Amino acid sequence: MKIAVDAMGGDYAPSVVIEGITAALYDFPDCELVVVGHLGKISYYMEKYGIENHPRIKTVHAEEVVEMSDPSTAALRGKKNSSITVCAKLLRDGEVDAIVSAGHTGAAVAATKIIVRTLPGIERPAIAALLPAQHGQFILIDAGANTDCEAKNLAQFALMGEAYAKLIFGHEKPKIGLLSVGGEDVKGNELTKEAFKILSEMSINFVGNVEGDTIFENVADVVVCDGFMGNILLKGSEGLAKAIMHWMKDIFSKNPIRMTGAMLARSAFKELKEIGDAEELGGAPLLGIKGICVIGHGSSTPKAVRNAIRVASDFVRFDINEKITRRIIETNMMINEKDKNENSSVHGNE
Amino acid sequence: MKIAVDAMGGDYAPSVVIEGITAALYDFPDCELVVVGHLGKISYYMEKYGIENHPRIKTVHAEEVVEMSDPSTAALRGKKNSSITVCAKLLRDGEVDAIVSAGHTGAAVAATKIIVRTLPGIERPAIAALLPAQHGQFILIDAGANTDCEAKNLAQFALMGEAYAKLIFGHEKPKIGLLSVGGEDVKGNELTKEAFKILSEMSINFVGNVEGDTIFENVADVVVCDGFMGNILLKGSEGLAKAIMHWMKDIFSKNPIRMTGAMLARSAFKELKEIGDAEELGGAPLLGIKGICVIGHGSSTPKAVRNAIRVASDFVRFDINEKITRRIIETNMMINEKDKNENSSVHGNE
């Protein structure tokens, strides 16, 4: 299996990315890794970590880098030789099975969408984020690829999320919910009210609207939303978790008895911090494209990069795109069948 | 000062509402309270708490109640004699200075918007929620009154939030941010990109886009968003806080040393739980209407009802509507002035 890694993507690239690649190289012996980046800048680190002549390592030169301050379209317009663009081309040409980048998310989405293209029946790819629930985890899709969506996009996200849930939870019929502001179908905004109707008619295990206050209570395995919404919820959760850690520190250091208590329980605080740890998760897949793309956090550590490569290899092995495509075809067939029946019943009434 | 309380609103009404009214009656000696509800159902509790003949208590009969499962329009169509509708009419007719309800939020918004009407220059009222920040608090507006908004609505929410921030933080120029998915003005969805332009041109202390991961870090005193977004963020925070408490319980009870630690620090956990406590806050104001309306949580306790009445009295005393109206006029004047200058400069170039 071949995986290309954008060595220039991320706040501490290329150093930490190449350190992460080194770890992955030894931990995943069935993977060949293609390091994509400016050769002048990466060779020092390749040598430093002693992987420059490794038989399962290849390098591909990319002249430019999409910076965090660049627009998402930079990968396609101004910087056509950027590392993420080169990664996308390798994926399109079948040179690799998957790509991994901790760089500019918008650029990775734009590059793969336009260069690699979406699966048949999918109009927009979406980022699927794994969030912690009271017991286990749930998938939030779209977590940030599309700021403005139509209802049919949300329906496609549901099928993509369903395939991902089968991979990680092993359920045949994962519960799929729609992020909204009220339990009933009449509640929500224009987008979710329309999406509710479509999702209700699909052959999925649709559990209806899911509200913010119960989303962490295992009410659904997959929660569908537009990428603006999803990104705010995802980052808002990150922000709140940070704030709670801050308040705890403040509150526990108020007197010596509390401090003693906190010290005795320090392993518990460590364990708490590890819940939903971005480093452990590695990265979130961008689903719906003709290939595998895993997007890491900008502040990825070497361990996070290693784990993002692991996530990519899991997806390749699971052949998720075959599963998404099959469900898209089944669902379209079902909708066509329904249309036919409705049309014939209309004719019957004439 | 006269405040009407919807005695039928809330999951445990009328019992807990009347208990809360009783507490407020003794704690706020400058308030006259009007208890609105079905007399047959409230009189038992009025007697139970010994307030039936109190000189600062009045009752007004309302035949019906808007139930949580009713649509928001029930207050205006099917149930024209519901307690929230009667409250809104008392406010419109100047019989009271403020109303308080822990009932159906959508019904309270619809009833006040249509019966009481909005302030001049305000098209839609908005709910302003007070959330905890790492240091102090911030205001999220709109927290759930409007599921679909236009950019100009967000601009009006900014002025309403500014007035509220002056009341509680005392700053002359509170920092106002726009909830979005990226720091720069080019990031966001169609709505926020347009709102960003308008907010940038207003005479407010606009600090730009605020992302979910920094929203709790005191980057802004007021964060503006549409009500769908705001409600998801508000309830999502509530849900995550609950989940974290759940994980802590699990993790701390894993071994006796951790349990001892937790026991020593139990006052700290209690303090942590009190941050952002809905009971303490009492309720969130619905801003932008010709009068004061405070909306409580459906599961309000007596203490929460008492505090919601306190919030209502604070708003009356602060005369917030006069302040909002003045800022709306100033801003409109500024915009008109700008338009004039732009027009004259256009003429100058001819």
> What is the ipTM for the molecules in this complex?
0.88
Q: What is the pTM of this model?
A: 0.91
Asked if residue B216 and residue B296 are part of one domain, the reply reads: no
From A220, A249, A278, give the residue that closes a domain.
A278
Q: What does the alpha-carbon distance between residue B234 and residue B238 come to, in Å, rounded to a whole number?
A: 6
List pLDDT tens digits, range B78-122: 899 999 999 999 999 999 999 999 999 999 999 999 999 999 999
Residue B54 maps to a domain:
yes
CA distance B17 to chain A (A): 24
- B262 with B300, same domain: the answer is no
Domain membership of residue A308 (yes or no) is yes
Confidence of residue A348 (pLDDT cuts 50, 70, 90): very low
Q: Are strands B283-287 and B292-296 parallel, antiparallel or unpaired?
A: antiparallel
Return d(Cα B81, Cα B63) in angstroms, integer.
6
Residue A91's pLDDT band, with cuts at 50, 70 and 90, is very high
Q: Is B228 close to A188, i.e. CB distance below 8 A?
A: yes
In a domain, B77, yes or no: yes
Residue B146 host element (H or E): none
Confirm whether B326 is domain-assigned.
no
User: Same structural domain for residues B9 and B87?
Assistant: yes
In contact, B331 and B308? CB cutoff 8 Å: no
**Interchain pair B133, A243: CB under 8 A:** yes
**Are B134 and B273 contained in the same domain?**
yes
**What are the Cα distances from residue A350, in Å, to A140, A264, A343?**
46, 79, 11
Is residue A96 located within the same domain as residue A225? no
Residue B291 has pLDDT above 60, yes or no: yes
Check A212 against B238: CB less than 8 A apart. yes
Q: State how far residue A42 is from chain B, nearest Cα, in angstroms.
A: 29
A93 in a structural domain: yes
CB contact under 8 Å between A211 and B235, yes or no, is yes
Q: How many CB atoms lie within 10 A of CB B170?
A: 8
Structural tokens at position B55:
């000189």
Judged by CB atoms closer than 8 Å, whether chains meet at B240 and A241 is answered as: yes
- Give the Cα separation of A15 and B72 in Å (integer): 56
> Which among A214, A232, A267 has CB closest to B258?
A267
Half-sphere exposure of B191 (CA within 13 A, CB side): 24
On whether both B209 and B83 belong to a single domain, the answer is: no
Contact B86, B66 (CB under 8 A): no
Interface contact A268-B275, CB threshold 8 A: no
Give the type of residue at A240: L
- Give the residue from A173, A153, A292, A293 showing the smallest Cα distance to A225: A153
Structural domain of A71: 1-117+289-318
Amino acid (one-letter) located at A152:
K
- Asked if A268's CB is within 8 angstroms of B254's CB, the reply is yes
Using a CB-CB cut-off of 8 Å, the residues of chain A touching B184 are 69
The answer to whether the Cβ–Cβ distance between B133 and A242 falls below 8 Å is: no
Task: Tell me, yes or no, whether B178 and B205 share the same domain.
Answer: yes
Inside any domain, residue A336: no
Write out chain B residues lying below 8 Å of A229, CB-based. 228-229, 232
Measure in Å the smallest separation between the Cα of A148 and chain B Cα atoms. Answer: 6
Question: Domain tally for chain B?
Answer: 2
For residue B188, give the CATH number of its domain: 3.40.718.10
Count of other CB atoms within 10 angstroms of residue B80: 14
Do residue A264 and residue B260 have CB atoms under 8 angstroms apart?
yes
The answer to whether residues A124 and A112 touch, using CB atoms and an 8 Å cutoff, is no
- CB A83 within 8 Å of CB A14: no
Q: Looking up tokens 């209502």, which residue turns up?
A: B312
Tell whether B177 and B274 lie within a shared domain: yes
Min distance A211 CA to chain B CA atoms (Å): 7
B90 and B169 share one domain = no
Query: Taken in order A287, A289, A294, A299, is the CA torsion positive or negative?
Result: negative
pLDDT tens digits, residue range B257-277?
Answer: 999 988 898 898 888 888 878
Report the gap between the CA of B81 and the closest CA in chain A (Å).
23
Q: What is the 3-state secondary structure (H, E, C) of A151-180?
A: HHHHHHHHHHHHHHHHHHHCCCCCEEEEEC
How many beta-carbon pairs under 8 angstroms link A with B? Answer: 184
B211 contacts in A (CB within 8 Å)?
232, 235, 239
pLDDT band for position A337 (50/70/90)?
A: low
In this predicted structure, the answer to whether residue A345 has a pLDDT above a threshold of 60 is no
What are the pLDDT digits (tens) for B318-337?
A: 999 999 999 999 887 666 66
Are both B207 and B141 inside the same structural domain? yes
How far is the alpha carbon of A226 from chain B, nearest alpha carbon, in Å? 10
The tokens for A42 are: 């990466």
Residue B122 belongs to some domain of the structure: no
Name every chain B residue with its beta carbon within 8 A of the beta carbon of A189.
147-148, 226, 228
Is residue A330 assigned to a domain? no
Residues A136 and A274 in one domain: yes
Does residue B63 sit in the same domain as residue B11? Answer: yes
